[in-house]
Structures are given as C-alpha cells and as structure tokens.
Chain A
Amino acid sequence: MKILDRGSSLLWLLFSLYAGIESFRLGIGTPTNPGMGFTAFGASGLLGILSFILFWQSMVRKGEATAPPVFSGSSWSKVVLVLIAILLYAFVMPGVGYLLGTFLLMSFLFWILSPGRVWRVLAYSFLTTTITYYVFAKLLNAQLPEGLLRF
C-alpha cells in the first residue's frame, strides 16, 4: 500500500490545492460574515494537511518497498471497455432511444463477459431491454428517451 499511498496522496494534495484556491477566489469572508468559500476553504485546507501527512507517512513508514500489483493479473482492459461502453451509451442513448441503445449496450456487455454465444446474447439483451422498458416506462411512468422517431 505504501507506494500506492505515495501516489494517491499527492493527487489528493493537488486536488486540495486546487479546491483551496478556487474557494479562496469565491471569497472566504470574515468569521462574522462567512463568505461562499468559507467552509470549502476550511475543508480543502484540512484535506491538504491530511494528504500531506499520508504522503509523509508513505515516505518514512517501513514496509514493502515495491508496489503491489494493482492491475496486473486481472483483466482490467475489460473494465476500460465496460466504462467506454456505458459512456458511449450515455452519449448516444438520447438520440437512438432507450430501446435500441439499451439493446446494443446489453449485447455488448453480455458478449464481453461470455463471448461466443451470439444467439443467447441477443436473446438475453432483447428480453432485458423489453422487460425493463415495460416495467420502468409503462408501469412506473419513468420518462425514457423515445429516440429515433423524434427525427
């Protein structure tokens, strides 16, 4: 964890610096009349101090010297693919509509987790898409994008 902490604490330190500067610009005000950035400035200041402590600890604490394998040995590329897939979904779903968008997403997700069975993947996707559409849009009156037919 030590090496990991060193990196992550620096990231949080940067984040706290940024948030601190931003909240300072918003105006801290005075104790009598606290401004918009008052609490945010306090919080980012504390975060900065704590991240620094974590960083310092990671430097001086004894422990494992090498980074444990965070990503190796795992199929983390799939994680990235899944993230890209749902981002794409969010991007195109309003345009193509819930039904088509969801069908494509589910096909991809089912496929990436157990590739090779196209028929079953398509059948599952079809079922989940229609059933969720029925439950959410029809029974619960949720407003899912209608898509294509608007054009």
Chain B
Amino acid sequence: MGVIESLLLGFKVVLDPTNILFCFIGVVIGTLVGVLPGIGPVGAMALLLPATFKASPESSIIMLAGIYYGAMYGGSTTSILVNIPGEAASVVTCLDGYQMARQGRAGPALGIAAIGSFIAGTLSVVGVMLVANPLAEAALRFGPPEYFALMCSGLVILTYLAQGSVLKALMMALVGLLLGSVGLDIITGLPRFTFGVNELTDGVGIIPLAVGLFGISEVLINVEKTLETEILRTEITNVWPSLKDWAAAKWAVLRGSIIGFFLGTLPGGGAILSSFVSYAVEKKISKHPEQFGKGAIEGVAAPESANNAAAGGSLIPLLSLGIPPNVVMAMLFSALIIHGIQPGPLLIKNNPNLFWGLVASMYVGNALLLLLNLPLVGMWVQVLKVPSRVLFPLILLFCLIGAYSVNNLIFDLYLMIFFGGLGYLMRKFGYEAAPLVLAFVIGPVLEQALRQSLLISAGSLLIFVTRPISAVALGIAFLLLLSNLLPYFKKYRAEYEGFEE
C-alpha cells in the first residue's frame, strides 16, 4: 500500500463524523489547558481517558493526541501576553513574545505563533508519515554518551540566549543544574539537597520555578513602576502579522519545524529542548541578533514552531518502537493498551486504520486549531487593554492558582514566591532566568547520561570522543562556545588595556 492510498484510508477514518467530533473536542481542550498555567496536557488527558474507553480506539487516540498538540498551540498565549509560560515548552517564547506585546505587537506575535504552529504541525505529520521508521532507528543510535554530548551542546547553546553577559548566563546555567539536582538521587534514590523538607523529595517543580522567575518577577518589576507609567497601555498597532513580519519569520518557522521534529523523537524533554535550540539557532544566524530579546518576531516563530513539531516527532518512538518518550506519550500508550492494541514495531502493519487515521487526524486537527486560534487572537489582544492596576493582581492570582493546582501543594506556592523574589533581584542585578530554566530541565538528563556513560566505559572519558555522534556533537558545542566567547575576551582585553593606559 502506497503512502497516498494509506493516507486516503486515514482520511476516510478521520472524516467519520464521530472522529471529527473527538478531534475537535481534543484540540479545544488542549488549547484551554495550554492557555491556563499549571494544568497541563497530562492532567487533562488523565481526566478524559476514562471517557474514551467506550469510543473506538481510533476516536480515543485522535482525541488524546489532539489535546497534546492543542496544548502546544495554547501554551504561547500567556507567554506572549503576560510573561507567564503556560507550558514548560513555551518558556523561551516569553523572551521576545512578551517584548512584542509591550510594543503593542501582541497580535502579530500571537498570529505568528498560531500560523507557525500550524505549519510546523503539518510538516511534522508529513515527517511522521514518511520517515517514521528510519527515524526511530536513528533515535536508537542515541545512547548515554550521545545524550551527554547533546545535553552539553544544549548548555552551550543557552549562552546564545544571553542578552547581556555570557559569563552571567553560564553562571545561571550552573545554578539551574544545581537546582535540578535537588531531590532523590537518580541512581541511589537517597535524598540530596532536600534540607529535610518532605516536599523537596520530588525535587523543585518546573512550574513554580518558571512561573516564579518569569511571571511573578515580571509583576513585581511592574508593581514598582505603576506610579510612573502604565506601561502596557501602548497602542496596539495591528492585530495580524504584516507581510514584513511574515517575510522575517518564514524561515524561522521552517527551521524551527525541522529542529523540533528531530529533537522531538528523542526521549526526555524533547519539546522543551527544541524550543530553546531553535531560538538559539535563529539568534545565531540572524542578521540582527541584537534585536533578540527586544521583540524579534523570529524569536516567537521559531520556538513555537519547534514545540509543535516536537509534539509530532515524539509520536514516532511510540508508534514504531512501542517506547513512549515522555509522560504524554505514556498516556497515549496506555490508551492503546486498554483498547487491546500493542504499540510496537508491528503497530503500523497490524493497525493501519489507527495509524493512518491518527496521521490524517493531525492534518485535520491542525487546520481546526488554526481556525480556532486566529479569531481568538483579536480577543486575546483585548486583554492588554485591561488597565495594569487590574491586570497585575489577576496575573498574580493566575500564577498562584497555576502553581498550586499542579500538585495541590501549598509548598509549591512558597517555592514560586521564593523564585519570584529571586527573579526580581536577578533582573535588578542583570542576571537572566532563561538559561537557569533550560539547565534545570536538562540537568537530570545530563547527569544520568554522564553517570551511565562512565559506567559503560569503566570511568574513561574517551567514550565521549570515540563515538561518532557524541564526538561531533561535542565538537560543535566546543566550537560554538569558542565562537561565542572570543569576541567577549577581545572586548574584555580591549577594556583592560584601556584601563592600563
């Protein structure tokens, strides 16, 4: 059966009225949980899972997948409007998205996020359709040393996120690594850095951390200024991305999609990592890198495309190997098991209806999401017309509810307030939060990969350079670090010499 015939079969499945309805419900719920901080796709899928048992396997998988990529659509909204990442994968969207909103360009930012997500989602479906099997095999080539090398490149890439001092960005990354090691040790299961606090046994939560550092600190900075100006009262210039915006963003969308799709296939935080990487790539190759962090539309387009493409990419290990790469995929996995379908190498052959139905549903779902989200842009932009004396208390409340509702833990509130205060001070002293959050996310993956690699190699560091993939990745990381640090040293030397004279 050729791809075209198979796809036609898939569309026959998805155009069944019941399946279309399930797809629609899925993407609507996904958008909603994406917009609201705290309640993520996992919670929403768990609550809806029982409702799908009576439906056919196709319907339930179509709906659950819809929630996931729908949430990736919605996650950007609060990042752009109020600097609160709705999803961990939208942290990096805060950097330029919120700046665009402050310049009255929330509309174009939201618009490009939706359009970029649509393009990326669609491209990733094409990818799933065409290269699922070879890609799954390629992902298998990534063992502990490769992961270690990849995560190291990730850490180096975050120095590109830095708007100010690279040195400070690296320092924040190390703080993030240290924060990421709080909790029970990944190999021995013994507590470390928990200070006897029971709630820290599970480590520091990503939501209290990210919402505190971005959302709360933003409110605090603005509270301080409210007497002087009503900063958000900027004129909203236009609601839609202009042709110029589009011209600037189109390649960012494409590159973001490709990066997101490939990184999404790797287990462990693929969506988050890909959003950071695509942002850094855009900044690196941009002709005007100085505009990043000050409202560059590419800085919104790339990460938002990447996290949507990663949602598609992460389906590949599940469908072709039967190995769920993240918690959301585990939910899909269990839905399949409950319907008596074994995900694994034989899934596509044994259940063509399901696989191709899912693929076709993602085309349809992405189109539905675009139709749903574009009209909403106009509505969201109105949020910014709310006077700041009303808006900021509301933002604080959303942060509080969001952080609380993840685990129903008051401790998470304290943690978030702590990070809010820390974030406020960090801004005052010129430290950035984004490198900290990224390092926090990849820290545990990095540590596990390092410790496993050293076990495999019996303590020899050579393992990282004798294996081709990890050697290449580390080499790139090193070159990137060098190219980023050189101008810094030069500048510093010039300054120092000036000082001598």
Contact = CB atoms under 8 A, between A and B. Distances in A.
Contacts of A102: 397
A6 to B, nearest CB: 10
A45 to B, nearest CB: 9
Interface string B163-179: 00101101100110110
A113 B192 contact: no
B499 A62 contact: yes
Contacts of B220: 79, 82-83
A1 interface: yes
Contacts of A51: 171
Given A34-B454, A50-B170, A57-B492, A79 B223 contact: yes
Interface in B251-305: none
B414 A43 contact: no
Given A43-B177, A82-B219, A113-B388, 11 more contacts: A4-B428, A5-B430, A26-B185, A32-B455, A39-B443, A46-B174, A57-B167, A78-B226, A113-B392, A113-B393, A136-B36
B311 to A, nearest CB: 21
Closest 8 CB pairs of A and B: A32-B459, A109-B393, A113-B389, A31-B459, A90-B413, A47-B174, A142-B405, A114-B389
A33 B223 contact: no
B345 interface: no
A75 B228 CA distance: 9
Contact of B178 (A19, A93, A105): A19
Nearest to A106: B393
A22 to B, nearest CB: 7
B390 to A, nearest CB: 6
Contacts of B400: 86, 89-90
Contact of B167 (A16, A53, A87, A142): A53
Nearest to B426: A8
Contact of A86 (B389, B405, B417, B428): B417
Interface string B396-428: 111011001100101001100100110010001
Contacts of A66: none
Contacts of A109: 392-393, 396
Contacts of A12: 171, 175
Contacts of B181: 23, 39-40, 43
Interface residues of A, number: 65
Nearest to B228: A74
A95 to B, nearest CB: 10
B292 to A, nearest CB: 20
Given A40-B193, A60-B499, A140 B392 contact: no
B410 A44 contact: no
Interface of B: 33, 36, 38-39, 47, 165, 167-168, 170-171, 174-175, 177-178, 181, 185, 187-188, 190, 192-193, 216, 219-220, 223-228, 388-390, 392-394, 396-398, 400-401, 404-405, 408, 410, 413-414, 417, 420-421, 424, 428-431, 443, 446-447, 450-451, 454-455, 458-461, 492, 495-496, 498-499
Interface string A1-42: 100110110001001100100110010001111101111100
9 contacts: A8-B429, A33-B459, A39-B177, A39-B446, A43-B174, A43-B178, A50-B167, A54-B165, A142-B38
A126 interface: no
A130 interface: no
Nearest to A91: B410
Interface of A: 1, 4-5, 7-8, 12, 15-16, 19, 22-23, 26, 30-34, 36-40, 43-44, 46-47, 50-51, 53-54, 57, 60-62, 70-71, 74-76, 78-79, 82-83, 86-87, 89-90, 93-94, 102, 105-106, 109-110, 113-114, 124, 128, 132, 136, 140-144
Contacts of B175: 12, 15, 47
Contacts of A1: 430
B192 A128 contact: no
B405 A136 contact: yes
B149 to A, nearest CB: 15
B429 A76 contact: no
A53 B165 CA distance: 12
A19 B177 CA distance: 11
A90 B417 contact: yes
Given A5-B430, A94-B410, A110-B393, A38 B404 contact: no
Contacts of B410: 90, 93-94
Nearest to A39: B447
B446 A31 contact: no
Contact of A40 (B171, B192, B393, B417): B192
B458 A47 contact: no
B461 A31 contact: yes
Contacts of B428: 4, 70-71
A87 B417 contact: yes
A42 B167 CA distance: 17
A83 B417 contact: yes
